[in-house]
Chain A
Amino acid sequence: MRIPRTKLWTLVGGIFLAQGAIQMFGALPLWNQNYKPKGQVSSNLSPDQMILAFAGMREMIANILWVRADTFFDQGMYDAVLPIIRLTTWLDPRAIDIYATGMWHIGYNFTDEQSRSDRRYIPSALALGAEGSRNNPETYEMFFETGWIWHHKIADGFPKAVYWMEEARKRPDLPPARGNILSMAYQRNGELDKALDLMYKQYDAAAKRVLEGGEYGDRNQRDTVGNNINVMLGRMSQRGAFAKPGEKPPVPFDTDPKFDVGFTAQVTIPEPAQLRIRATWNVRPVGTRVRVILRDADYPNAIPGGMVWDATNEVALDPPKNLTYMQDDNLFFRNRRADKTIDMSRDPTMYPLVSDKYYLEFYYNPRIAPPHIQDKFSWSGEGMTAKPEFLNTEIREGQRVVFYRMELTRDMLRRTGDWLDKVPVFATPYFEEDRVRNTDDNLIQVPGILAEP
């Protein structure tokens, strides 16, 4: 039988057209929707990694790499872990544990000699969390982890913590106890009604589970939330949260009268890249921590007392090397004074100090104060005041915070130029070095079992 060659070549042409049509308009769009690996594998891996990855073993390779990263953790080689985090999450965008651990590692583990973390990494940690939540939208975990970084590590930008925690709560797999943290985030965000409302919902849900024969965890959750509701109602009542505008209570709220925190500070630079800070604070009970920030005056996305931390979507393995951002959240006051030396000289890669101009900022926000301090100041500083130079009601909407900024130069910080032989000393207004010693005036009265009736 003779083969009709022309007809067959025509058939081949037709078949190729048909296969192209099926591929482009039918199978490929569905494959992209259903089966295509998420993430950015194809554009970020080297060819050899891609071959292995697309050979169908992406998750396996990701796991092997992650096991290798564990060794680096143990050896303290934190830098080496970063590329592995990036690679493994590209290879396996469903690896929630790697995303969560990676976020924590980037956000917390790069510290200076005095255990201050490198805040320049925080945007990358948040970007990794956002990417992880995009790639794993069906579970609460990455939403919660990202919210936790906002709530705990950043402790600022409170609406962001609320947003991520709310997203986590939309997922049905959120453990009940973790839902309680959203209530705390609401409080920090000044949304007291929402915080209380959520507590009631959490309580009702736990009580229902107990009635249906729930386990120990359900009873524990019910009792915990019940206790939290009692405490919250007490605090809201004592702090005047239920007061109608203009109403004068028979007994003054704990926030009345406003207490002057008496903040002042003096900064000296005894050695290059060292700040000695002495400060006053009239609150006698311990628990006050003032945030100290030293940063380039033109640090990108910086705001007074912090930064717009999620301004970028990029997970950068290296922080901006020529920029300086030092944040110390632990200027701790005891006996109404603080004396702390912040030594940046031993970490030049973290604090390069190459810009000409710097801001040194002091920032205190009652929203993150411990409850016994909040009992007087309330959540938004209603019971707190300070000298006009320090009290600020603008940099955080609806909040009364303490904020003061000084300007420094590179020569001052590095003790070069005009400051080679001179010790730079700066003080805020009203700073009196002897004032905080052995004086009993202006003490805060914290209600408690030892308080006068």
Chain B
Amino acid sequence: MSVILSIASTTLGEAIRRRVLLVILLIALGSLIIAPGLSVLQPRGQQAAITSLTMGIIQMTSALIAIVLTVYMIPNEIERRTIYTILCKPVQRWQFVVGKYLGAVAALGMMIFFMTLVLIFVTSLNSGFDIARVQELVKGPFMYFWQMAILSAVAMMFSTFVTPLVNFFLSSGIFIAGTVFSSVFQSFMENRGTNELTKTLASAVQYIIPNFALYNVQNPIINPGQEIVNEFGYYLQSVGYALLYVVGLLVVAILIFDRREV
């Protein structure tokens, strides 16, 4: 376990030192700060629009960070040959993969945490500090964290056998498919007019591709006052789903990386 934690902490340190990630984070933080200045919107919808914008900034930035952070992780170690210095020690390959992943997720969590702090600060500055509102607001980033944990696992799995550039597009594609097209697949499955073959295909895709849309819980945050049924149960199941998916993807990554020539 100490081996894994040691690799994870090193990875976290590397991530913090990477300028590209810090630039992305700074742009996101800047955007969050200036977002409430958009006062040209319709008066009543302004609060909803600003919350929607800030949530969107956090989600998109997190996705970008998750992919950029993870796609280079293993290929860079191989390219710079630093992996030899690690694997020649009593470190198993699976420990290396798991450590790298945990380090990436820790870095990601830290960045989402910073963005959430800025979100709370900016919101409180605009409409006063309200603990109930803050509790609602943090649900969004909390679920984004788990969404990005899955995305990182996807990128990590691909990084064991494809180049970073291909991985970037593959992971982005799967993220888009799992968010944007989740509803489309679902409407295919539920539409009575859809033929059986299409329904089966849609079900299969929905079943296989990680459903990132499950972590988009911002609707009631943007438009408060909606009745939420079994919220705790939903969060429990979603986190469970994320953990299962992550474990599954990491096992696949380990199995592939185990056979790979480095």
Contacts and interface: CB of A to CB of B under 8 A. Distances in A.
Interface in B166-205: 176, 179-180, 183-184, 186-187
Nearest to A94: B223
B144 to A, nearest CB: 9
A7 to B, nearest CB: 10
Interface stretch (A27-35, A75-83, A246-254, A302-310): A27-35
Given A66-B42, A138-B225, A56 B218 contact: yes
Nearest to B244: A19
Q: Is the interface of B mostly helix, strand, loop or mixed?
A: helix
B228 interface: yes
A450 interface: no
A12 B251 contact: yes
B116 interface: no
A60 B52 contact: yes
Given A1-B92, A3-B258, A28 B49 contact: no
Residue from A27, A47, A138 whose CB has the most chain B CB atoms within 10 Å: A27
Contact of A23 (B207, B225, B252): B207
Interface in A75-132: 92, 94-98
Interface residues of A, number: 51
B241 A22 contact: yes
Contact of B248 (A16, A36, A43): A16
A60 B53 contact: yes
A423 interface: no
A429 interface: no
A57 B60 CA distance: 10
B18 to A, nearest CB: 24
Contacts of B55: 56-57
Interface stretch (B21-29, B77-85, B124-132, B231-239): B231-239
Interface string B242-260: 0011011001101100100
Interface stretch (B7-15, B104-112, B208-216): B208-216
Given A23-B207, A36-B183, A8 B229 contact: no
B48 interface: yes
Contacts, number: 149
Contacts of A55: 56, 59-60, 179
B248 A19 contact: yes
A59 interface: yes
A26 B230 CA distance: 11
A71 to B, nearest CB: 11
A9 B211 CA distance: 22
Contact of A51 (B176, B230, B237): B176
A30 B251 contact: no
Q: Is the interface of A mostly helix, strand, loop or mixed?
A: helix
A66 B41 CA distance: 8
A231 interface: no
B118 interface: no
Contacts of A23: 206-207, 211, 214, 241
Interface residues of B, number: 59
Given A11-B251, A27-B238, A42-B184, A56 B217 contact: no
Interface string A232-248: 00000000000000000
A76 B240 CA distance: 54
Contact of A60 (B49, B207, B229, B254): B49
A96 B44 contact: yes
A41 B184 CA distance: 10
Contacts of A5: 255, 258
B41 A22 contact: no
A58 interface: yes
B49 A22 contact: no
A28 to B, nearest CB: 7
A254 to B, nearest CB: 47
Given A15-B248, A22-B237, A57-B52, A9 B255 contact: yes
B233 A30 contact: yes
A174 interface: no
Nearest to B240: A22
A109 to B, nearest CB: 18
B30 interface: no
Contacts of B92: 1
Given A3-B94, A18-B244, A54 B251 contact: no
Contact of A41 (B183, B234, B251): B183
A338 interface: no
Given A22-B237, A22-B244, A34-B234, A8 B251 contact: yes
B234 A31 contact: yes
A50 interface: yes
14 contacts: A3-B254, A8-B251, A15-B244, A23-B207, A27-B234, A27-B237, A30-B237, A34-B220, A35-B220, A55-B59, A56-B55, A56-B216, A57-B52, A59-B53
Interface of A: 1, 3, 5, 8-9, 11-12, 15-16, 18-20, 22-24, 26-28, 30-37, 41-43, 47, 50-51, 54-60, 62-64, 66-67, 92, 94-98, 138
The 8 closest A-B pairs by CB, nearest first: A59-B52, A57-B56, A15-B248, A56-B56, A42-B183, A63-B49, A60-B53, A63-B41
Interface of B: 40-42, 44-46, 48-53, 55-56, 59-60, 92, 94, 176, 179-180, 183-184, 186-187, 206-208, 211, 213-214, 216-220, 222-223, 225-226, 228-231, 233-234, 237-238, 240-241, 244-245, 247-248, 251-252, 254-255, 258
Given A27-B237, A62-B49, A97-B44, 10 more contacts: A12-B255, A23-B207, A34-B231, A36-B183, A43-B184, A50-B180, A55-B56, A56-B218, A60-B49, A63-B42
